[in-house]
Structure 1
Amino acid sequence: MKAIYTLLFHLALPLILLRLLWRGIKAPAYFHRWPERFGKVAAMPASQPIIWVHAVSVGEVEATRPLISGLRASYPEHRILITTMTPTGSERVKKLYTGEVDHCYLPYDLPFAIRRFLKAKHPEFGIIMETELWPNLVDQCHQHHIPLVLANARLSARSAKGYQRFSKLTAQMLKQFCFIAAQTQEDQQRFRALGAEYADVHATGNLKFEISLPASATEQAEAIRSMWGNRPVWIAASTHEGEEELVLNASRKVRAEFPDLLLLLVPRHPERFDRAAALSRKAGFKTLRRSEGKPCGRDIEVLVIDTMGELPTFYATCDVALIGGSLIPHGGHNLLEPAALGRPVLTGPHFFNFNEITKQFLDSGAAMLVRDSHEIAQTMITLLSNAEQRASMGQTAIGQIQRNQGASMRLLNLIKRHIKQA
C-alpha cells in the first residue's frame, strides 16, 4: 500500500508544482525556496543535538510557543529546528523566534527528499504538531531510529473515516510513533480505533489553550484605540471567500443603530487582501487599508488589516470578535486569541476544525452562534448595546482558558519519559 501511495505521489508531482506556481501568482513567496521542498536544506553540525518540531502553518506555529519554551528549558544544550509548509508559517516562525531557532520547509513526502532532509538535519527526535500524517516521513524516521511524537493531535470523526479506508497503511504509520499526545479523550479513542498502540496514546489536552499574548499587543491596541476615539469597533478575523459579503451586509445593518461603527476586516490569506478591500469599496463603505499607513479617521467605516502578525493587536482594539472560516463550510479558526483578551466571540455554524474548543465556549456562554448576516447584525447590536454582557462573556472566556491549561507540561513529561537522550 505504501509503495502505491509513493508511486501516486511521484505521478502527482507535476500537479503539485503547478499548484505551487498558481499559489505563487497570488502569494509570490511560494516561488521561493523550492529546493527545500525536495530536501535540499542547509546541513547542521553533527555535534549539535537537534530537536525538530513540525508545524504546518501559522496556527500550528502559534501552538508551539509553550512547547518550544518548555523544550528550551528542559534541553538547554539542544538546538531547535522548526519546519513549516507555508510561507506564512515561515514568516511567523521568524517573527516569533528572531533567530533563536532554525527554520526550513518540510520536504514533500517522497522517500529521497525525506532522507536528504534527515541526513542534513540529523534530529535527535521529532515532534509533529496536530495531525500531519505523512507515511514516508514517519517510515523514514523509523528506519533512521529517530523517535517521532505526534503532539496536540486531533482527529475528527470525518477524518477518522477517511483514514479507515486505508486501514493497514494508517495502522502501520501510527504504530511507528513513539507516542501520540491527543487533545481529547474522543481523539484518543479514534487513534486507538485506527490501530495505534493502546498504551501509547495519551489525552493531554490542547496546547492552544496555553496562550500567552505579548503585553506590547495590549499597549499598542490602547494607543491605536485612543486615536480612533470613542466609537464601537468590531473585527471579522480570518475571513474566506464568500464571508466578506456577509460581514459587510451585517455591518451596514449595525451602522443603522451605531452610525460611527468601525469594522476591522482581516482576510485569512494575503492573496485576498486586494479583493477584500475592493468588495468593501464596491459595497459603498469608506475603506482604508492598514498598509496605506494613513490615520483611520472617524469617516473610515472599514479598515482592512492587510499586514501580517498584527491580529492580536487588533483583537485587543475591538469590542466584539467574529471568527471567520465558520460562516462557510471551511471549518472555522481558533477563537482563543480574542477570548484570552476577554473579548466576546461570535462564530458561524461551521467550526468543525475546532469543534471541542468552540463547543466549550458556546456552552459556557463565552461565545455566541450566528448563521447569516441578519443574525450577525442582531447579535452585534445586542452586544454593543450592553457593556455588562460583553464584560461577562469576556470573563467567562478567560475562565475557560485558565481551566484548560497544562497540556504543555503533560506533553513535556511524556517526552522525558519516552525519549532517552542520545
Structure 2
Amino acid sequence: MSVQKSGRPVIWFAVYQLLWHLLLPLAFIRLAWRARHSIQYLGNLSERLGFGYTKPIATGAIWIHAVSVGETRAAQPLIEAYLARGENILLTHMTLNGRRTGKQLFASAIAAGQIHQVYLPYDLCGPVENFLKTFKPKLGLFMETEAWPTVVFRCAEIGLPLFLVNARLSQRSAKRVQSFGEAGQALFQAFTAILAQTAFDAERYRQLGVRNIDVVGNLKFDVPLDPAQLQKGQEWRSELQKERRLLVCAASTRDGEEAIILKAWKQLLLSNAFTVPPLLCLIPRHPERFADVASVIANMGLTFRKRSEWLKTPDACHQVDVLLGDSMGEMAMYYSAASLTVMGGTLLPFGGQNLIEACAAGCPVLLGKYTYNFQQAALDALQCGAAKQVEEMPLGEPLALKESLKSCLLNSEELLRMAQAAKQYAVDHQGATQNILAILDRQNHFSD
C-alpha cells in the first residue's frame, strides 16, 4: 500500500473520499428524515460542508470535538478547566442532541463568546480544509472514539497537535480497525498522542502500532452532577417512600431492550412479591423514540404516564406501573430518586451505556452481559459491590432479569450496601481531568 510521509495511505484514502462523495446525498436525506421529529436537524447545514460560519471565534482556540450527548457531558470537566484558565474553546459536534447539550451546559460561556459551537464538517477534503483555515485552532482534542481520517491526517500534515482523549477501544472495535490493515493502523498512529481510559484500551491501541499512549482514567468520573436535579430526585424519593414504594430506573435503553424490561416488569408485578408494587421509570436513550416506546408500554398492557404529563398531574404518576421519562437533561434526578438502575445497552449487544453517573448519585446498577464499551468501569463496579450482573440471561429472555430485580428489591440491607459502595466507587476513580491537563501541558511545552 502506498503511504505518504504524513502516514496517509494514498490509495485507501482516495477510495474513502470517493465513497464519501457518493454517500453525501444519503447523509442529507438522513437529516431530512430525522427532521420529521425536529426541524432543527436541518439547521446550520452549511457548517456540515465547511462554510457559512457566523461570528467565528478568535484563532488559537482549543478545539474540542464531542460527537454527541455522552461525549459532550464527558468533556465538561475538561472544558471548565480550560475556561478557568481563560482559554477560548471551539466546541464541535456531529449530532443535534450533542449541540443542544453543549448549549445547555455552557450557556454562559457561549453568551460571553468564550465558547463557539459548530458542527464538524463531513469528512471531505474541501470542507475540512476550509474548517481548519477558518478557525486555526492551536490544539485539537477528540473525545473517546472519534477518528475521522480526513481530519486526523490533515492535522498531522499541517502540524496541528491532535489528541484522542478519554479514549476507549473495545475488542470488537479493535478487530474492525485491524480489518482495514495498514490504513486502520495509520489512522490512530497519526494522532499526536492517545490518552486512554484504561490499560485495556491502551493495550488495544498498542496492538495497532500506536506508541505515544498514556492511561489517564475516565473523565466521566469527574463530571459533576447537577445539585438541583439531585435535590428534585431526593424530594421525589421522599414522596415515594411515604407510600413505601420503590423506584427502579431503566436508563438509556436501546431499541429492543424496552420489550425485555417491560416483560420482566410485568412478570415481577404479577408475582405478588411486594405489598406495595414498585414503580418503573423507563428512559429511552434517544428522544426520537419516545413515542415508539410509549406504544410498546401500552401494547404490554401496563399503565403508564409520561414525565411531561407528570408536570401537570404529579400525583397521578404514582398510581401507574411505568413512568416514561420523556425528558432531556434529567438523568441525575432519575438516579437520585431510584433505588436501583437497570443499565441500558447491556441487555442486548450494544456495549452498554454510562453507569458512572448512576453510581455518583448513589444508585446501584444492574447490568446485562454486554458491557464492552465500559469494560473496566463495569468490572470495577462489580468488584466493589456497586453493581450486579444478570446471570445467564439468554438473548431477549426476561425471566433472569425478573429474578435479579426481585432479589435486589426485596433485600433492603443489600440495596443500602450497594448504594454506599456506588458512591465510594465514583469518588475513588476521579482525577482524569488533572491527568489529561498535565500531559497536554507537558506536550505543549515540548512542542514550544
| TM-score (structure 2 length as normaliser) | 0.88
Q: Which runs of 5+ in 2 are unaligned?
A: 1-11, 110-114
Equivalents in 1 of 2:58, 2:301: separation in Å? 62
Equivalents in 1 of 2:17, 2:178: separation in Å? 19
Q: Is residue 295 from structure 1 mapped to residue 295 from structure 2 by the alignment?
A: no
Q: Is residue 87 from structure 1 mapped to residue 96 from structure 2 by the alignment?
A: yes
Equivalents in 1 of 2:235, 2:416: separation in Å? 21
TM-fit CA distance, 1:385: 1.8
Letter of the 1:203 counterpart: V
Equivalents in 2 of 1:90, 1:280: separation in Å? 30
Relative distance call for 1:394 and 1:300 in structure 2 (3 A) is same
Aligned equivalent of 1:271, options 281, 288, 295: 288
Q: Matched residue of 2:277: which SS?
A: coil
Deviations, residues 140-187 of structure 1 (Å, cap 9, x unaligned): 222333211110111122212221222322333333322110112222
Q: Is residue 31 from structure 1 mapped to residue 56 from structure 2 by the alignment?
A: no
Equivalent residue number for residue 225 of structure 1: 237
Q: Matched residue of 2:223: which SS?
A: coil
Relative distance call for 1:246 and 1:45 in structure 2 (3 A) is closer
Equivalent residues of 2:352, 2:373 under 8 A apart: yes
Relative distance call for 1:217 and 1:45 in structure 2 (3 A) is closer
Equivalent residue number for residue 163 of structure 1: 177
Relative distance call for 1:45 and 1:308 in structure 2 (3 A) is closer
Letter of the 1:300 counterpart: V
TM-fit CA distance, 1:63: 0.8
Letter of the 2:138 counterpart: E
Q: Matched residue of 2:377: which SS?
A: helix
Letter of the 2:335 counterpart: Y
The range that moved more, 312-321 or 62-71, is: 62-71
Equivalent residue number for residue 105 of structure 2: 96
Equivalent residues of 1:179, 1:201 under 8 A apart: yes
Equivalent residue number for residue 7 of structure 1: 18
Equivalent residues of 1:46, 1:122 under 8 A apart: no
Q: Matched residue of 1:325: which SS?
A: coil
Q: Matched residue of 1:237: which SS?
A: strand
Q: Is residue 143 from structure 1 mapped to residue 152 from structure 2 by the alignment?
A: no
Deviations, residues 168-220 of structure 1 (Å, cap 9, x unaligned): 22333333322110112222222122122x2x211111112223212212211
1:110-259 equivalence runs, <5 A? 110-196=124-210, 198=211, 200-228=212-240, 229-230=242-243, 231-255=245-269, 256-258=272-274, 259=276
The alignment-based identity, stated in percent, is: 38
Equivalent residue number for residue 261 of structure 1: 278
Aligned equivalent of 2:327, options 273, 292, 307: 307
Equivalent residues of 1:347, 1:368 under 8 A apart: yes
Aligned equivalent of 2:401, options 369, 376, 387: 376
Equivalent residues of 2:353, 2:373 under 8 A apart: yes
Tell me the number of residue pairs that the alignment of Structure 1 and Structure 2 aligns: 418
Letter of the 1:217 counterpart: Q
Equivalents in 1 of 2:398, 2:189: separation in Å? 46
Equivalent residue number for residue 54 of structure 1: 65
Deviations, residues 234-271 of structure 1 (Å, cap 9, x unaligned): 11111122111111122223222234321101011111
Equivalent residues of 1:211, 1:336 under 8 A apart: no
Q: Matched residue of 2:404: which SS?
A: helix
Equivalents in 2 of 1:210, 1:153: separation in Å? 15
Relative distance call for 1:13 and 1:224 in structure 2 (3 A) is same
Equivalent residue number for residue 423 of structure 2: 398
Equivalents in 2 of 1:239, 1:45: separation in Å? 37
Equivalent residue number for residue 386 of structure 1: 411
Relative distance call for 1:220 and 1:418 in structure 2 (3 A) is same
Equivalents in 2 of 1:379, 1:296: separation in Å? 29
Equivalents in 2 of 1:47, 1:363: separation in Å? 47
Q: Matched residue of 1:327: which SS?
A: coil
Equivalent residues of 2:341, 2:358 under 8 A apart: yes
The range that moved more, 158-167 or 252-261, is: 252-261
Equivalents in 2 of 1:174, 1:226: separation in Å? 49
Equivalent residues of 2:59, 2:135 under 8 A apart: no
TM-fit CA distance, 1:46: 7.2
Equivalents in 1 of 2:419, 2:142: separation in Å? 32
Deviations, residues 319-357 of structure 1 (Å, cap 9, x unaligned): 111111111111110101111111111111112111221
TM-fit CA distance, 1:90: 0.9
Relative distance call for 1:122 and 1:159 in structure 2 (3 A) is same
Q: Matched residue of 2:36: which SS?
A: helix
Relative distance call for 1:47 and 1:55 in structure 2 (3 A) is closer
Equivalents in 2 of 1:22, 1:352: separation in Å? 31
Deviations, residues 117-149 of structure 1 (Å, cap 9, x unaligned): 112222111100112111100122223332111
TM-fit CA distance, 1:23: 2.8
Equivalents in 2 of 1:323, 1:157: separation in Å? 21
Cα RMSD of the aligned pairs, angstroms, is: 1.9
